[in-house]
Amino acid sequence: MLFILISDIDKNYKSWYEWIPYNQTNKIKTNFVAQLKKMGEVFIPKPNFVNFRKYADYDNNTGYGININFTLEDLEFENYAKWIYEQIDIKYKNKKNIIVIGLEQGCHHAKFFAQKYHKDCKGVFILGNRILTKENYESLNNKIYRDSLVKYFGKEWKKYTIENIDNKHLEEILVRLDKKGEKKNQDYVMYLNGLVKLYTRSQYDKIKKAKIPSFIYSYTQQIDNKKLETDRKYKNNKVIFYYLDDDSVYLIYGSYNNEIIERIKCLVNKKM
Protein backbone atom coordinates (compact mmCIF):
# COMPACT_ATOMS: atom_id res chain seq x y z
CA MET A 1 0.00 0.00 0.00
CA LEU A 2 1.23 3.48 -0.87
CA PHE A 3 -0.18 6.49 0.96
CA ILE A 4 0.08 9.84 -0.80
CA LEU A 5 -0.34 12.68 1.70
CA ILE A 6 -1.26 15.99 0.06
CA SER A 7 -0.69 18.90 2.42
CA ASP A 8 -2.74 22.03 2.89
CA ILE A 9 -1.78 24.42 0.07
CA ASP A 10 -0.08 26.86 2.44
CA LYS A 11 1.68 24.32 4.67
CA ASN A 12 4.87 22.31 4.31
CA TYR A 13 5.29 18.54 4.63
CA LYS A 14 6.10 18.78 8.35
CA SER A 15 2.47 19.64 9.10
CA TRP A 16 1.82 15.88 8.92
CA TYR A 17 4.17 15.42 11.91
CA GLU A 18 4.22 18.62 13.94
CA TRP A 19 2.87 22.16 13.87
CA ILE A 20 3.11 25.47 15.69
CA PRO A 21 -0.32 27.14 15.47
CA TYR A 22 -0.16 30.73 14.24
CA ASN A 23 0.69 33.38 16.83
CA GLN A 24 1.78 30.64 19.22
CA THR A 25 5.16 29.21 20.20
CA ASN A 26 4.35 25.73 21.51
CA LYS A 27 4.80 22.87 19.05
CA ILE A 28 2.17 20.12 18.84
CA LYS A 29 2.84 16.66 17.40
CA THR A 30 0.90 13.76 15.91
CA ASN A 31 1.68 10.10 15.27
CA PHE A 32 -0.50 10.00 12.14
CA VAL A 33 2.31 9.24 9.68
CA ALA A 34 3.90 6.70 12.03
CA GLN A 35 0.58 4.81 12.12
CA LEU A 36 0.35 4.83 8.31
CA LYS A 37 3.90 3.50 7.97
CA LYS A 38 2.79 0.36 9.82
CA MET A 39 0.45 -0.32 6.88
CA GLY A 40 2.58 0.72 3.91
CA GLU A 41 4.87 3.31 2.37
CA VAL A 42 4.21 7.04 2.71
CA PHE A 43 4.95 9.73 0.14
CA ILE A 44 4.49 13.43 0.95
CA PRO A 45 4.94 15.76 -2.06
CA LYS A 46 6.99 18.90 -1.45
CA PRO A 47 5.87 21.56 -3.95
CA ASN A 48 7.81 24.81 -4.24
CA PHE A 49 4.68 26.95 -4.07
CA VAL A 50 4.55 26.76 -0.26
CA ASN A 51 8.18 27.70 0.38
CA PHE A 52 7.76 31.49 0.27
CA ARG A 53 6.08 31.18 3.67
CA LYS A 54 9.46 30.69 5.31
CA TYR A 55 9.67 34.50 5.07
CA ALA A 56 6.33 35.09 6.81
CA ASP A 57 6.66 36.90 10.14
CA TYR A 58 3.58 35.10 11.46
CA ASP A 59 4.77 31.55 10.66
CA ASN A 60 7.16 30.00 13.19
CA ASN A 61 7.29 26.60 11.50
CA THR A 62 10.35 25.07 9.83
CA GLY A 63 10.41 22.57 7.00
CA TYR A 64 9.96 24.95 4.09
CA GLY A 65 12.31 24.26 1.20
CA ILE A 66 15.07 26.52 -0.09
CA ASN A 67 13.65 26.99 -3.59
CA ILE A 68 10.67 29.37 -3.61
CA ASN A 69 10.36 29.58 -7.40
CA PHE A 70 7.15 28.35 -9.03
CA THR A 71 4.93 29.21 -11.98
CA LEU A 72 1.19 29.60 -12.36
CA GLU A 73 1.16 26.30 -14.25
CA ASP A 74 2.49 24.54 -11.13
CA LEU A 75 -0.77 25.49 -9.39
CA GLU A 76 -2.96 23.79 -11.99
CA PHE A 77 -4.62 20.66 -10.63
CA GLU A 78 -3.61 18.66 -13.72
CA ASN A 79 0.05 19.60 -13.49
CA TYR A 80 0.35 19.06 -9.75
CA ALA A 81 -1.29 15.64 -10.04
CA LYS A 82 1.00 14.68 -12.94
CA TRP A 83 4.07 15.92 -11.01
CA ILE A 84 3.13 13.71 -8.06
CA TYR A 85 2.42 10.70 -10.27
CA GLU A 86 5.73 11.02 -12.08
CA GLN A 87 7.57 10.92 -8.76
CA ILE A 88 5.81 7.82 -7.48
CA ASP A 89 6.26 6.17 -10.89
CA ILE A 90 10.01 6.36 -10.32
CA LYS A 91 10.21 5.74 -6.57
CA TYR A 92 7.58 3.11 -5.78
CA LYS A 93 6.69 -0.31 -7.14
CA ASN A 94 3.22 -0.39 -5.56
CA LYS A 95 1.88 2.67 -7.34
CA LYS A 96 -1.16 0.67 -8.42
CA ASN A 97 -2.34 0.34 -4.82
CA ILE A 98 -2.71 3.93 -3.60
CA ILE A 99 -4.70 5.64 -0.87
CA VAL A 100 -4.73 9.42 -1.23
CA ILE A 101 -5.14 11.59 1.87
CA GLY A 102 -5.78 15.32 1.57
CA LEU A 103 -5.41 17.76 4.44
CA GLU A 104 -7.63 20.86 4.55
CA GLN A 105 -7.15 22.85 1.30
CA GLY A 106 -5.06 19.98 -0.01
CA CYS A 107 -8.39 18.19 -0.31
CA HIS A 108 -8.94 19.75 -3.75
CA HIS A 109 -5.70 18.31 -5.10
CA ALA A 110 -6.38 14.96 -3.42
CA LYS A 111 -9.84 14.68 -4.99
CA PHE A 112 -8.48 15.62 -8.40
CA PHE A 113 -5.60 13.13 -8.16
CA ALA A 114 -8.01 10.36 -7.16
CA GLN A 115 -10.27 11.39 -10.03
CA LYS A 116 -7.49 11.44 -12.65
CA TYR A 117 -5.69 8.28 -11.51
CA HIS A 118 -8.70 6.38 -10.18
CA LYS A 119 -7.53 3.08 -11.69
CA ASP A 120 -4.46 3.18 -9.43
CA CYS A 121 -6.24 4.38 -6.28
CA LYS A 122 -8.00 2.23 -3.73
CA GLY A 123 -9.57 5.14 -1.87
CA VAL A 124 -9.30 8.76 -0.81
CA PHE A 125 -9.57 10.32 2.65
CA ILE A 126 -10.32 14.03 2.96
CA LEU A 127 -9.43 15.43 6.39
CA GLY A 128 -11.07 18.82 6.76
CA ASN A 129 -13.13 19.11 3.59
CA ARG A 130 -13.12 22.62 2.11
CA ILE A 131 -15.80 24.05 -0.13
CA LEU A 132 -14.89 24.69 -3.77
CA THR A 133 -17.54 26.52 -5.80
CA LYS A 134 -17.84 29.40 -8.20
CA GLU A 135 -19.60 31.41 -5.48
CA ASN A 136 -16.77 30.71 -3.03
CA TYR A 137 -14.16 31.85 -5.55
CA GLU A 138 -16.05 35.02 -6.44
CA SER A 139 -16.65 35.88 -2.78
CA LEU A 140 -12.88 35.93 -2.23
CA ASN A 141 -11.98 37.71 -5.47
CA ASN A 142 -13.70 40.84 -4.20
CA LYS A 143 -13.16 44.54 -3.50
CA ILE A 144 -11.28 43.84 -0.26
CA TYR A 145 -8.82 41.63 -2.15
CA ARG A 146 -8.35 44.24 -4.88
CA ASP A 147 -7.86 46.98 -2.30
CA SER A 148 -5.06 44.90 -0.81
CA LEU A 149 -3.40 44.78 -4.26
CA VAL A 150 -3.50 48.57 -4.42
CA LYS A 151 -1.79 48.64 -1.02
CA TYR A 152 0.90 46.20 -2.15
CA PHE A 153 1.59 47.45 -5.69
CA GLY A 154 0.20 50.97 -6.01
CA LYS A 155 -0.76 52.15 -9.49
CA GLU A 156 0.39 48.89 -11.08
CA TRP A 157 -2.00 46.74 -9.02
CA LYS A 158 -4.06 45.56 -12.02
CA LYS A 159 -1.07 43.55 -13.30
CA TYR A 160 -1.32 41.37 -10.21
CA THR A 161 -5.02 40.47 -10.22
CA ILE A 162 -5.87 36.81 -10.62
CA GLU A 163 -7.11 37.62 -14.12
CA ASN A 164 -3.94 39.42 -15.27
CA ILE A 165 -1.00 37.97 -13.34
CA ASP A 166 1.56 36.23 -15.56
CA ASN A 167 4.74 34.30 -14.85
CA LYS A 168 6.95 37.30 -15.62
CA HIS A 169 5.40 39.41 -12.86
CA LEU A 170 5.21 36.42 -10.52
CA GLU A 171 8.93 35.78 -11.01
CA GLU A 172 9.72 39.44 -10.28
CA ILE A 173 7.96 39.18 -6.91
CA LEU A 174 9.72 35.93 -6.04
CA VAL A 175 13.14 37.40 -6.94
CA ARG A 176 12.50 40.48 -4.80
CA LEU A 177 11.29 38.39 -1.88
CA ASP A 178 14.26 36.03 -2.05
CA LYS A 179 16.91 38.73 -2.49
CA LYS A 180 19.68 38.26 0.07
CA GLY A 181 20.61 40.90 2.59
CA GLU A 182 17.27 42.69 2.53
CA LYS A 183 14.41 42.81 5.00
CA LYS A 184 11.70 40.58 3.63
CA ASN A 185 8.66 42.45 2.36
CA GLN A 186 5.62 41.03 4.12
CA ASP A 187 3.35 42.53 1.47
CA TYR A 188 4.87 40.09 -1.04
CA VAL A 189 4.34 37.21 1.36
CA MET A 190 0.70 38.14 1.87
CA TYR A 191 0.17 38.58 -1.86
CA LEU A 192 1.65 35.17 -2.69
CA ASN A 193 -0.41 33.56 0.06
CA GLY A 194 -3.57 35.04 -1.43
CA LEU A 195 -2.53 34.18 -4.99
CA VAL A 196 -1.98 30.48 -4.25
CA LYS A 197 -5.30 30.18 -2.45
CA LEU A 198 -7.29 32.16 -4.99
CA TYR A 199 -5.73 30.43 -8.00
CA THR A 200 -6.56 27.08 -6.43
CA ARG A 201 -10.16 28.07 -5.86
CA SER A 202 -10.50 29.44 -9.39
CA GLN A 203 -10.40 25.81 -10.56
CA TYR A 204 -13.79 25.06 -8.98
CA ASP A 205 -15.15 23.34 -12.10
CA LYS A 206 -12.46 20.63 -12.23
CA ILE A 207 -13.67 18.48 -9.33
CA LYS A 208 -16.29 15.97 -10.49
CA LYS A 209 -18.12 13.14 -8.74
CA ALA A 210 -16.07 10.58 -6.85
CA LYS A 211 -14.91 7.55 -8.83
CA ILE A 212 -13.46 5.56 -5.94
CA PRO A 213 -14.36 4.94 -2.28
CA SER A 214 -14.13 8.34 -0.57
CA PHE A 215 -14.25 9.20 3.11
CA ILE A 216 -14.89 12.90 3.61
CA TYR A 217 -14.42 14.50 7.02
CA SER A 218 -15.76 18.00 7.71
CA TYR A 219 -16.00 20.23 10.77
CA THR A 220 -19.53 20.82 12.05
CA GLN A 221 -18.56 24.46 12.60
CA GLN A 222 -18.23 24.92 8.82
CA ILE A 223 -21.52 23.33 7.77
CA ASP A 224 -24.19 25.41 6.08
CA ASN A 225 -26.78 24.72 3.40
CA LYS A 226 -24.38 25.59 0.58
CA LYS A 227 -21.75 23.17 1.82
CA LEU A 228 -24.29 20.38 2.20
CA GLU A 229 -25.53 21.06 -1.32
CA THR A 230 -21.97 20.89 -2.64
CA ASP A 231 -21.34 17.64 -0.75
CA ARG A 232 -24.43 16.07 -2.32
CA LYS A 233 -23.19 16.93 -5.80
CA TYR A 234 -19.90 15.12 -5.12
CA LYS A 235 -21.61 12.17 -3.48
CA ASN A 236 -22.44 8.79 -4.99
CA ASN A 237 -22.62 5.31 -3.53
CA LYS A 238 -18.83 5.32 -3.08
CA VAL A 239 -18.77 8.30 -0.68
CA ILE A 240 -19.27 8.51 3.08
CA PHE A 241 -19.40 11.90 4.78
CA TYR A 242 -18.46 12.47 8.42
CA TYR A 243 -19.30 15.73 10.20
CA LEU A 244 -17.19 16.08 13.33
CA ASP A 245 -17.25 18.48 16.25
CA ASP A 246 -13.53 19.07 16.57
CA ASP A 247 -11.61 22.23 17.49
CA SER A 248 -8.08 20.93 16.85
CA VAL A 249 -5.75 22.76 14.48
CA TYR A 250 -6.09 19.77 12.12
CA LEU A 251 -8.07 16.54 12.47
CA ILE A 252 -4.85 14.52 12.66
CA TYR A 253 -4.02 16.37 15.88
CA GLY A 254 -7.45 15.98 17.43
CA SER A 255 -9.45 13.37 19.28
CA TYR A 256 -10.60 11.67 16.06
CA ASN A 257 -7.07 10.84 14.90
CA ASN A 258 -7.24 7.21 16.02
CA GLU A 259 -10.71 6.68 14.60
CA ILE A 260 -9.55 7.93 11.19
CA ILE A 261 -6.57 5.58 11.33
CA GLU A 262 -8.89 2.66 12.12
CA ARG A 263 -11.06 3.45 9.10
CA ILE A 264 -7.98 3.59 6.91
CA LYS A 265 -6.98 0.18 8.26
CA CYS A 266 -10.41 -1.17 7.37
CA LEU A 267 -10.01 0.00 3.79
CA VAL A 268 -6.49 -1.43 3.57
CA ASN A 269 -7.83 -4.76 4.80
CA LYS A 270 -10.87 -4.54 2.47
CA LYS A 271 -13.33 -4.73 5.33
CA MET A 272 -15.17 -1.59 4.32
- Reduced to 3 states (helix: H, G, I; strand: E, B; else coil), residue 167 is helix
Instruction: State the pTM of this model.
Output: 0.94
Report the C-alpha gap between 9 and 82 in whole angstroms: 16
Quote the DSSP letter at residue 253: G
- Over residues 185-231, the pLDDT tens digits come to 999 999 999 999 999 999 999 998 889 999 999 999 888 888 888 88
Q: State how far the alpha carbon of 84 is from the alpha carbons of 45, 74, 126, 172, 238, in Å.
A: 7, 11, 17, 27, 24
Residue 94 has pLDDT above 70, yes or no: no
- Domains of the chain (ranges, CATH numbers): 2-132+208-268 (3.40.50.1820), 138-199 (no CATH)
- Over residues 142-188, the pLDDT tens digits come to 999 999 999 999 999 999 999 999 999 999 999 999 887 667 899 99
Could you count the other beta carbons within 10 Å of the beta carbon of residue 15?
Answer: 25
Residue 111 has pLDDT above 60, yes or no: yes
